[in-house]
Chains A and B, each alone.
Chain A
Amino acid sequence: MDVPTFESHGIKQSSQPTGPLVVKLALLFALTGLVAGLYLWQASEIAVTGRRIEVLRQRRQDLQRENAELLEQIATEGSVPAVQDRAARLGFSPAAQVDYVPVTAVPPDTVPALRAQWLGTK
């Protein structure tokens, strides 16, 4: 009895073995999976980082607003009417008279420099 062959059915047998083809297909699937996984990981990282940036930006803006409010409170507390009121409550009153005492020991030419030094200005 003749054993049927590929050739007898008109099909030519490949010269390559079937094993490596399976490996290649597996590699292709693995690579595709890797790319897909990387893409998903990247997308999720972008989302997480974007959300974190958004939260930080929100926090920064909140702090800016809070800082502005604190600056306003400081200015109000230090305003002239507020200071006058506190000074009056502490018993201070406007100077009725100011007496200048000439300091003859200091040469007049050095006064501007000394004044600048004391005031910390140029």
Chain B
Amino acid sequence: MGERTRRRLYVLCSVLVIVVAILVGQLVRLQVLEQKQWEDEGDLIRSRTLTLTAQRGRIWDRNGDLLADNIARYQVTADPGPVDINKAVDQLAPLLDIPPNEMRADLAGAHQQVMLATKLSRTTGEAVRNLDLWAVYATPYWQRSYPEHQLLSHVLGFVNAQGQGYYGVEGQYDTMLRGRQEVVQESRDAYAQPSPFDPAHPDEPRSGVDLVLTIDRTMQALAEAELARALAETGAKSGTIIAMDPRTGAILAMTNLPTFDPNNYTETPTSRFVNSAVSAPYEPGSTFKVLTMAAALQEGRVTPNTVYNDTAWIEVGGQVIRNWDRKGHGPSTMIDLLANSLNVGAAMLATQMGGQTFYRYVQAFGIGRPTGIDLQGEASGSLRVPGDLDWHESDLATNSFGQGLSTTPLQLISAVAAVANDGVQMRPYVVAQKVDGPGQVLTAKPIPLGRVISAQTAHTLTDMLEQAVLRENSAAHVPGYRIAGKTGTAQIPIAGGYDDPWTIASFVGYGPASNPRLIILVKLDRPTSSPYGGQTASPVFARLASRLFVLMGVPPDEAIASR
């Protein structure tokens, strides 16, 4: 090989080495030094992050009627860079009912992904998807829906646009209902379709747990209709009805008026979301005498026929206690006390028992603490007991007839239900079953909170309450059925006194007295036709109970007795 040839070879080799060195240098720069930057940029092009929201668990009533469901909605977004604006506007604007100029301006002026439309129906969303427009995405999501609209709204609560449950069952069981959310990276091909080579992203994330309520939809509808009628007839501003099975604590119906449609919760004042039945304490008034009498009977202080001399007033702790009619009723039995709702007699019973004994029973009945119902936002009510700084001796007297303390409607019905259930108080509950897929059913068992009074005392008191209804409260009478119950007419406390002449009129009763299967509390706020529970709430009870007994298949006592 000549010298000249050798030099040429050196030059050629040098050129090749330089070229290879440049190539290697570029590879090192792209794949090592700037690897993260280019990888991120590539990911942006070939993949996108998807948040897969699980379908929220459905809510059913005790008979399998659907109360809360999910419906598919679509949102349409577009990447302004790669999107063909003219084509997108031509095809999308009429479909989405957006003015073309507006859409064109939105797409042309944006640098990030643009939300073109949301809350689209399933058919519209699928139509957009089927257009196969480059860089236009139709993404489905679930929206909560309540097919019964206002029915049971306070018990159900609602779900906001972010999928967060508020109030009622939706709030209480939010974590269980919402299921799991999955965030996945989806690879796309050149046509923005999921890449067939990509390992399949997980299927739809696991749905939330379905809930079956103790509530009967039809009973609930009847309760709401009766409450609406009561408000119209009595002029009451608001009201509450609770129906419960005293043997188990299962809530059968629970309603408040005014109410709201959870489908349109954004158009509702927030004050209407509150479930007054569990969250709004009030002074229960004379319905509380049931508990005072239960304590006195259990302690053996009185029997149904014990007679006392009812004077027009009594002084306790420096405070004068008067009957509601400001009259003395003379020699009266304990049944007279309940039938005539005598404050003086109730105060005498409480003072005879003494504070320690009286409040022991009051607390045993659950007054002053939440019942533990599985609904969000339960209130405790308020109860002052001896030893508290703000307790006064006169409280013993006023508390005996339901003043100077507060309970929620649920606390009161739960306490009286203990009398109906042979003296055993049950924890109220609204969720009967949790269903987590086929065959995975968890059934709630009724939970006894404890025995408050003996079965004998409970039966005696039931007889007394039945006689009280028969003698003085014919409006609560349900033909054919033995009903035990008590009216309440309570003043409304405001700062510095009571809001005269307004009252809260109520009635709590249960039946059939021989074997109670239904207890109902009716509460009407500020009725104008009459301030008294016996004239306003009792007829509501009677109408509702007569219909619910039929619905529940509870035969009348008279039919049973005649057999």
Residues of A at under 8 Å CB distance from B? Answer: 46-51, 53-54, 57, 61-62, 64-66, 68-69, 71-72, 74-76, 78-81, 84, 94-95, 98, 100, 102, 104, 108, 115
B218 within 8 A of A: yes
* Given A79-B147, A79-B148, A100-B555, A68-B69 contact (CB < 8 Å): yes
The distance in angstroms between the C-alpha atoms of A57 and B553, with both chains bound, is 48
The distance in angstroms between the C-alpha atoms of A102 and B480, with both chains bound, is 13
- Jot down 24 A-B pairs with beta carbons below 8 A, ordered by A: A46-B197, A47-B196, A51-B196, A54-B194, A61-B140, A65-B140, A66-B72, A66-B122, A68-B55, A68-B72, A72-B147, A75-B66, A75-B147, A76-B147, A78-B65, A79-B148, A80-B148, A80-B221, A81-B149, A84-B221, A94-B547, A98-B546, A104-B563, A115-B553
B217 within 8 A of A: yes
B145 within 8 A of A: yes
The distance in angstroms between the C-alpha atoms of A72 and B144, with both chains bound, is 10
- Report how many residues on chain B are interfacial, defined by Cβ distance under 8 Å: 38
* Given A102-B559, A102-B563, A46-B196 contact (CB < 8 Å): yes
Q: Enumerate chain B residues within 8 angstroms of A100, measured Cβ to Cβ.
A: 480, 555-556, 559
B550 within 8 A of A: yes
B71 touches A68 (CB 8 A): yes
* Given A65-B122, A80-B217, A102-B562, A54-B196 contact (CB < 8 Å): yes
Number of A-B contacts (CB under 8 A): 79
B514 within 8 A of A: no
Q: Enumerate chain B residues within 8 angstroms of A71, measured Cβ to Cβ.
A: 66, 69
The distance in angstroms between the C-alpha atoms of A78 and B197, with both chains bound, is 46
Which residue of B has the minimal Cβ distance to A43?
B197
Q: Enumerate chain A residues within 8 angstroms of B550, measured Cβ to Cβ.
A: 95, 98
Residues of B at under 8 Å CB distance from A? Answer: 55, 65-66, 69-72, 122, 126, 140, 142, 145, 147-149, 151, 193-198, 200, 203-204, 217-218, 221, 480, 546-547, 550, 553, 555-556, 559, 562-563
B148 touches A65 (CB 8 A): no
State the main secondary structure of chain A at its contact with B: helix
Which residue of A has the minimal Cβ distance to B150?
A81
The distance in angstroms between the C-alpha atoms of A95 and B547, with both chains bound, is 9
Given pairs A71-B69, A72-B71, A75-B69, 4 additional interface contacts (CB within 8 A): A66-B122, A80-B217, A80-B221, A81-B149
The distance in angstroms between the C-alpha atoms of A102 and B563, with both chains bound, is 7
Q: Enumerate chain B residues within 8 angstroms of A76, measured Cβ to Cβ.
A: 147
A72 touches B145 (CB 8 A): yes
The distance in angstroms between the C-alpha atoms of A69 and B147, with both chains bound, is 11
The distance in angstroms between the C-alpha atoms of A53 and B194, with both chains bound, is 11
The distance in angstroms between the C-alpha atoms of A1 and B198, with both chains bound, is 74
Which residue of A has the minimal Cβ distance to B121?
A69
B563 touches A108 (CB 8 A): yes
A64 touches B147 (CB 8 A): no
A79 touches B196 (CB 8 A): no
Q: Enumerate chain B residues within 8 angstroms of A102, measured Cβ to Cβ.
A: 559, 562-563
